[in-house]
Amino acid sequence: MDSNNSTSSNLMSERDGNRKLALLVAIHLTEKPTMVDLVAATKIPKRTIHSMMSQLKETDVVITRVGGRRHGHYRIADPGVYNMQAVQAVIKRQYPGVYMQIATYAAEQSMPAKVAGQMGNSYFSRTPMKASNSN
């Protein structure tokens, strides 16, 4: 019975570790990720993400919040013991579906910013507004 508990415990530990790696990849790939973004990209509950961030501190990973609580975002200030390119490669190789989910979400999130930047040079931004007659 102890060997079954040990095996179960090892599998849970491995799963938890892989989810932490997926979280790091999501923060790394997503431009200015908020908590909502991290939950959507990883499908990990908010409470679990908070817990994982605390656990990652134990491995010297520094995840900082940039900006306020309402409009801020997360970034990896120091990856600690992790090499982010290696972490990304591990998730991509061992969990391609998870990696594609995160990468697709990150790409979709960066699209509006790029489109908005391009719209600044569009015809509409140079067209003066017509004065309205409110009589």
Instruction: Tell me how many domains the chain contains.
Output: 1
Provide the whole-model pTM.
0.74
In a domain, 132, yes or no: no
**Domain membership flag for residue 126:** no
| Residue 64 to residue 57: CA distance in whole angstroms | 11
Residue 135 in any domain: the answer is no
Model confidence at 2, in pLDDT bands (50, 70, 90)? low
26 close to 102: Cβ distance less than 8 angstroms? yes
Three-class secondary structure of residue 11 per DSSP: helix
Domain containing 85: what range? Answer: 2-105
Assign 3-state DSSP to the chain and report helix, strand, coil percentages, each to 5. Answer: 65, 10, 25
DSSP state of 67: S
Residues paired with residue 66 on neighbouring β-strands, in sequence order: 73
Q: Is the dihedral of CA 74, 71, 112, 102 positive or negative?
A: positive
Q: Is residue 128 part of a domain?
A: no
Residue 130 located in a structural domain: no
In a domain, 120, yes or no: no
CATH number at residue 42: 1.10.10.10
- In 10 A of CB 38, how many CB atoms? 24
For 99-110, what is the mean pLDDT?
93
Q: Residue 112 and residue 127: Cα distance in Å, rounded?
A: 22
For 8-53, write each residue's pLDDT tens digit.
455 556 677 899 999 999 999 999 999 999 999 999 999 999 999 9
DSSP state letter for 78: E
**Rounded to an integer, what is the distance from CA 14 to the centroid of its chain?**
20
Q: Is residue 131 part of a domain?
A: no
The answer to whether residue 70 is domain-embedded is yes
Confirm if 52 and 20 have CB atoms less than 8 A apart: yes
Query: What's the pLDDT tens digit per position in 73-99?
Result: 999 999 999 999 999 999 999 999 999
